[in-house]
Amino acid sequence: MLEFAAKYAAPLFLIALITVFALLEPRFLHPLNLFNILRQVSISGLVAIGMTFVILTAGIDLSVGSLLALCGLVGAYVAKGGLADRFALGTSAADAGNPAVLAILAAIAIGLVGGAIQGTIVTRLRVPPFVVTLGGLTAFRGAALLFSGGGPISGFQPDYTWWGQGKIGIVPVPVIIFMGFAIIAHIVLKHSRFGLHIFAVGGNSEAADLNGVPTKRVIFLSYVIIGFFCGLAGFLLSARLSSAEAVAGLGLELTVIASVVIGGTSLFGGIGSIFGTVVGACLIGVLTNGLVLLNVSSFVQQIVIGVILVSAVAFDQFAAKRRSS
């Protein structure tokens, strides 16, 4: 019974939430609203995919919101031709090629560097992930404020904003990207040697090390992966809002960690899935959207999400004790 509850609690709760909101507010099931939920979920959902890799290794990353903001700013700066102006290259991003492509590459590059720095400190200097990423939360936010001078970068071309606001058919572009990477991440975790190593390290790092698993490399790569997703999400968020700001992503770490944990990934590591993370992200998106439609205060929304997160962690600890007994 416990195993069944742990495996299907999030999907069942998601279905129950959708049913309740549909009964209380008919507008909830309108296609435009449903696609709006998916578009909102796609940004935090991408970061949650990366967080799944980290938490599966029994790690944590509290810096994702700050790193996302920094990545979005750098991408926007490149798209506006900032590097060409600064280094007198005599060409703008639009002249050099597609500014959106250059922005994506720049944002992801910053995310990879940020993830690599934190992964190196965690694995080489053996500083606890909580401490490292707590420092990263402040450092990356400070870097974003310094880089932007405290102001936003806005006024993008349509080929840039298309990535955040456009559609392919009736499906928003960010949703397609989110689902595509969710499928790729699922395949990597379930059907690759690296995925097996992720679960092995999270289950018992010492035993994994004795069996030849390169634990330090696996943990390092998990932080690089989440850095990649922060970069991609930072770009998509700036494209969706048509503005990049240093204050973007405030509180994102709570939403992302909640999505992963509510989806069934254990904070102790070694147990979890990308499917569960996607369900967890959708659950929070549905909950937030439904409460907004019902005119529930944003303060109450934060309380509800906090209570759900604590309940999920408490259940995770209870389940872990039952499994070990």
Q: Could you report the per-residue pLDDT of 250-287, keeping only the tens digit for each?
A: 989 989 998 999 888 988 899 999 999 999 999 999 99
Residue 310 lies in a domain: no
Backbone angles phi and psi of 300, in degrees to 5: -65, -40
Cα separation, 72 vs 70, whole angstroms? 5
Could you tell me if residue 120 is inside a domain? yes
- Is residue 79 within 8 A of residue 155, CB to CB? The reply is no
Band of the pLDDT at 323, cuts 50, 70, 90?
low
Task: Please choose, from the candidates 277, 252, 264, 315, the residue with its C-alpha nearest in 3D space to the C-alpha of residue 61.
Answer: 252
101 occurs within a structural domain: yes
Indicate if the pLDDT at residue 111 is higher than 80: yes
Q: How many domains does the chain have?
A: 1
Q: What value does the mean pLDDT take over residues 147-161? A: 91
**96 assigned to some structural domain:** yes
- Asked if the structure places residue 307 within a domain, the reply is no
* 205 found inside a domain: yes
pLDDT at 90: 47
For 44, residues 6+ apart whose C-beta sits below 8 A from its C-beta are 233, 252, 255, 256, 259, 281, 284, 285
| Percent of the chain whose pLDDT exceeds 70 | 89
Provide the residue count of the chain. 325
- 280 within some domain: no
Residue 93's pLDDT is what?
A: 46
User: Which residues on adjacent β-strands are paired with residue 171?
Assistant: 168
The b/e string for 214-228 (b: 16+ C-beta within 10 A; e otherwise) is ebbebbbbbbbbbbb
Tell me what pLDDT residue 198 has: 97
CA distance 62 to 118: 11
What residues contact 23, with CB distance under 8 A and at least 6 apart?
none
Confidence of residue 155 (pLDDT cuts 50, 70, 90): confident
Q: Is the dihedral of CA 298, 303, 307, 310 positive or negative?
A: positive
CA 309 remoteness from chain centre: 16
Residue 151 burial (C-beta neighbours within 10 Å; 0-12, 13-18, 19+): exposed
Task: Identify the CA nearest to 48 among candidates 298, 201, 274, 302.
Answer: 274
188 in Cβ contact with 126 (< 8 Å): no
Parent domain of 110: 45-250+265-271
Residue 167, SS3 per DSSP: strand
| pLDDT of the residue at 9 | 78
Q: Residue 253 in contact with residue 265, Cβ under 8 Å? A: no
- Identify the H or E element spanning 234: helix 215-241
In 3D, which of 159, 180, 158, 176 has the Cα closest to residue 167? Answer: 176
Point out the least confidently predicted range of 13-17, 67-71, 240-244.
13-17
Residue 289 has what pLDDT? 92
Query: What are the backbone dihedrals phi and psi of residue 319, each rounded to the nearest 5 degrees, phi first?
Result: -65, -40
What is residue 8's predicted lDDT score, i.e. its pLDDT? 73
The answer to whether position 37 is within a domain reads no
Single-letter residue type at 218: V
CA distance linking residue 233 with residue 243, whole number of Å: 13
Residue at token pair 């990366």: 50
Tens-place pLDDT, residues 42-84? 999 999 999 999 999 999 999 999 999 999 999 999 998 765 5
For residue 118, report the phi and psi dihedrals to the nearest 5 degrees. Answer: -70, -40
Rounded distance between C-alpha atoms, residue 278 and residue 260, angstroms? 8
Structure tokens at 148: 């932007």
pLDDT of residue 91: 46
